[in-house]
Structure 1
């Protein structure tokens, strides 16, 4: 195999196996090359990742060591992407009755979800995360996109129990916006006790749903390492019940009469 071919193959393998430790002998045997050549190739790949603002290679020394690809989306790439997304969200045609926004088309866009997953994965790159947790249903694509980059499983909290999930733990919580009592459930088998989790959701207003998830996760003695939301609503009439979170977009104003939406960058860019 030519070096150029080997570089393409190695880059492809690393991107498809993020945060997984890969030994040099594995690459050496896979591509029939000396360890010294593999090491030089990895240096080239590392430089390319950093130059493109898409991550870096982390080397682990020792007999059981190797290299792993850490996906990191640069601030420049993230800011440009979020600005473009804000422009798309400001389309007046997205306004729904009650001041809600239509976002299903965005949450169903694979490329958009991949980029959002990269940004969230960068935000929580320094956290020890075992699982991504979200609530059904609109946050699911975003949770899977983030989990794919962090290379961890996804756990879905549901509103109603499913017979296929066996015994469950359920709690009642008060919705932050409607002030109604609602229920959420999680299968006992889905989350080992003491796990480190990251909550990902698509939209947050007052934060009642996220608070409910936090309460449910306490029943599993889980450690919430981070909370990420795609968009948060700015509403002076609603008291925010969640403080420690990362948002990518802030919906500053939805003017139904004026048929206008104002979307800004979230607090992720203030960190």
Structure 2
């Protein structure tokens, strides 16, 4: 079936956006669209310009025998502002305050539309870096970490609180949680990650940074390099956390149970 140019461009963009950071060869599209290489090359040029003009990400061409074309999901500062301010608005509602000055946020971090965009924001911060895995600890950070891994086109590694017999031999470490000051345990299968890999750590919340430090220590067991750390929400205090280089999307200043107010705002560096 012969497909007209508008149809080819629409299908090309759909395929690339459904598989971010995956390289498709030119031959893949010529065979799929039953079109000449010259025609598909022109389609890619049009699609590339369209995506850049509308700030919908970037279509990149890779030369060479192993080359092709791929889509890189990039979020603009204006898009970050819109998304993060919307999340702040949702989390600032009085009825979200839980006894103990905690925030109920499960419905937000488990919303596929929200976490997909948050994952793309994280992926944008680490674009250009060599990443082999995205790492998180169960359980609340899993959806955001999964969407970040999807945007970067790399596997997700989940550090578990308890080892499972189905994972075979595991490595376990103890760490001090900065949120409650308790000693906790995390474990990972020895088969889960290759020695010397480059990883990105993603988590949902950071207070003092104890859990993130624990994940860094775990990666050291595999001689893995931590290329970056991203957290959805970081508390404003304590200012000096046990990890220094991290990217928070939102800053939680204060939860006032008495007056029923929540002060949370986007990270200015992303806007």
**What's the TM-score, normalizing by structure 2?**
0.96
- The corresponding residue for 1:250 is 251
- The corresponding residue for 2:10 is 8
Out of 119, 122, 132, the residue aligned to residue 120 of structure 1 is 122
Q: Could you say what secondary structure the match of 1:40 adopts? A: helix
Deviations 1:99-121 (A, max 9, x none): 11000000111100111111011
- The corresponding residue for 2:132 is 130
RMSD: 1.3
Q: Distance in 2 between matches of 1:39 and 1:16?
A: 20
Deviations 1:83-102 (A, max 9, x none): 11111111011111111100
Alignment of 1:1-271 (within 5 A): 1-236=3-238, 239-266=240-267, 268-269=269-270
Q: Could you say what secondary structure the match of 2:241 adopts? A: coil
Q: Could you say what secondary structure the match of 1:26 adopts? A: helix
Stretch moving more, 56-65 or 253-262: 56-65
Give the unaligned 5+ runs of structure 2: none
Do 2:87 and 2:108's aligned partners in 1 also have CA atoms closer than 8 Å? no
Shift of 1:239: 4.4
Q: Could you say what secondary structure the match of 2:245 adopts? A: coil
Aligned length: 269
Do 1:246 and 1:267's aligned partners in 2 also have CA atoms closer than 8 Å? no
Q: Distance in 2 between matches of 1:81 and 1:31?
A: 36
Q: Distance in 2 between matches of 1:65 and 1:162?
A: 40
Do 1:246 and 1:268's aligned partners in 2 also have CA atoms closer than 8 Å? no
Deviations 1:10-59 (A, max 9, x none): 11111122112222122112111111111111111111211222211112
Deviations 1:177-206 (A, max 9, x none): 322211111110111111111000001000
Q: Distance in 1 between matches of 2:184 and 2:42?
A: 57
Do 1:247 and 1:267's aligned partners in 2 also have CA atoms closer than 8 Å? no
Q: Is the alpha carbon distance of 1:56 and 1:72 closer, same or farther for their aligned partners in structure 2, counting shifts above 3 Å? A: same
Q: Distance in 2 between matches of 1:216 and 1:196?
A: 13
